[in-house]
Structure 1
Amino acid sequence: MQFIKTFQLYDFLDTLVSLFVAFVFGTLIGAERQYRQRSAGLRTNVLVCVGAAAFVDLADHLSGADGAVRVIAYVVSGIGFLGAGAIMKEGMNVRGLNTAATLWSCAAVGACAGADMVAQSAAVTVFVLAGNTLLRPLVNAIDRIPLNEGASEANYEIIVTTIADRAAEIRESLIEKLEDASYPIRETKVMYHSDDNVEVAAELVPFSAAPDELDAVVAGLSKLPDVSHATWNVSALE
């Protein structure tokens, strides 16, 4: 049998160590993700970590360091496709970026384990766990800081409520006033709710704006005939 000719106990034990290390460290990362109820939890992270370790270890045994390096390059790109499946866009919000990044980092842990770099694999695991746990209070603190419209770029939208018969004219007036104020427009849209309730919206190119200037534009739009309401809102960049 070919297995008897190719089997070497030392190489097999070396592979077992690599896979075991990847399994343990993948479990640590996955357990934290499972506790947070993320879409890629314990099993997914373990499989990514062990799979990356297995591919790198196999290439190392067959072709040496050069083969392992080539496989690592494929692992990096392959996990990128897997992570893309975890990213979802819901309106203006994008979800799953952290999950995708964690899967990518978990593959790095497995690649280090497959290359017999156990200490490096442990170090990467520590930093991944620190990024997903220790940085959470800092992220929450930053998110609580009110958005400074005049100091940071953001997405701005001007919304005017009018009647259906006046939608086209209000849209032209909205564009004209924004151009007069030197506000770059990304797109405009008209949302029909009923004959007496139509929203004309203009989304601006992300930039830093002065709230007083936007208030002045909205005030001018509010004075137009058949305009029942005009406002603007701001959201952080994706």
Structure 2
Amino acid sequence: MTLTTFLINLLTALVMGVLIGLERQITQHPAGLRTNALVAVGAAMFMSITPLIGFETSPTRIASYIISGIGFLAGGVILKEGINVRGLNTAATLWCTAAIGTLAGTGHVAYAATGTGVILIIHLLLKPCSDWIDNWAKGREGENHYRLRVIATAQNEDLVRSIILRLINSQNRMTAQGISVFKADKEEEFEVVADIMSRGNQDKEMQDVITRLRIDTGVSLASWKQVQSKDP
């Protein structure tokens, strides 16, 4: 492999990685422009080792090491928030970007470009379809009403209320209809009751709100239940 060929392969991997990373950066995902570019270029450099040393090492063996290694990197972008898992699409994208870099590193420019196009189509066209399916599935059951109950220490009243509102507002299909604050049985505690309306079943999201609230210092009780509209 000449230096010119090496540079062409590296630039191909860089361009493909940047294209994939640009879409990720615009949509504000953890692994964006630089991460995807580095993954693609790194994979291309690894695949360039074989021709540089005279094909003494099997290219498929190096590719298998890249596949294994990218698994550790992808694992770092998968986050667990309560009962929700985020970052799976980002991890899968890094895995695909490594494959693009592997193709570019072996000089298969047309195949690398085709693979990049398919990845971008998946992100740009299938995401709206996926969102529509999620909204349709959640909307089949109509309107649901929930009541959230939290007991915490008095000095954390403002913090707890702001967290509740932020968590509810972060859910696209949930709306806070009212928040009331009462004196709890213990002198140093207060009780917050929030009435929430949702489109479709949001049991999973409600449990996630509870899990997040229980993490905070000062919250001694956090629970939710599904209620009828305008329940006392």
C-alpha distance 57-148 of structure 1, shift in aligned 2 (>3 A): same
Larger RCO: Structure 1 or Structure 2 (Cα < 8 Å, ≥ 6 residues apart)? 2
Which position in structure 1 is the counterpart of 2:3?
12
For residue 78 of structure 2, the aligned residue among 61, 77, 87 is: 87
Counterpart CA distance in 2 for 1:27 and 1:65 is 31
Map 1:64-83 to 2 at 5 A.
Answer: 64=55, 67-83=58-74
Which position in structure 2 is the counterpart of 1:58?
49
Q: Given the alignment of the two structures, is residue 112 of structure 1 paired with residue 106 of structure 2, yes or no?
A: no
* Corresponding letter in the other structure for 2:127: R
For residue 128 of structure 1, the aligned residue among 106, 119, 123 is: 119
C-alpha distance 65-148 of structure 1, shift in aligned 2 (>3 A): farther
User: Retained in 2: the 8 A contact 1:30–1:45?
Assistant: yes
Larger radius of gyration: 1
For residue 91 of structure 2, the aligned residue among 63, 80, 100 is: 100
Deviation at 1:62, TM superposition (A): 1.6
Deviation at 1:59, TM superposition (A): 2.1
- Count of residues in correspondence between the two structures: 160
Map 1:1-238 to 2 at 5 A.
Answer: 11-64=2-55, 67-147=58-138, 231=225
Counterpart CA distance in 1 for 2:16 and 2:82 is 35
Q: 2:137 is paired with a residue of what secondary structure?
A: coil
* Corresponding letter in the other structure for 2:105: G
C-alpha distance 77-90 of structure 1, shift in aligned 2 (>3 A): same
Counterpart CA distance in 2 for 1:74 and 1:15 is 20
Counterpart CA distance in 1 for 2:12 and 2:19 is 11
Counterpart CA distance in 2 for 1:140 and 1:19 is 35
User: Retained in 2: the 8 A contact 1:60–1:67?
Assistant: no
Q: 1:89 is paired with a residue of what secondary structure?
A: strand
Counterpart CA distance in 2 for 1:88 and 1:230 is 24
Q: 1:38 is paired with a residue of what secondary structure?
A: coil
C-alpha distance 230-67 of structure 1, shift in aligned 2 (>3 A): closer
Unaligned runs of 5+ in 1: 1-9, 151-160, 162-193, 197-228, 234-238
Q: CA RMSD in A?
A: 3.4
The TM-score, its normalising length taken from structure 2, stands at 0.59
Counterpart CA distance in 2 for 1:87 and 1:46 is 19
The TM-score, its normalising length taken from structure 1, stands at 0.58
Deviation at 1:37, TM superposition (A): 1.3
Deviation at 1:90, TM superposition (A): 0.5
Counterpart CA distance in 1 for 2:139 and 2:124 is 27
C-alpha distance 99-65 of structure 1, shift in aligned 2 (>3 A): farther
Deviation at 1:65, TM superposition (A): 8.2
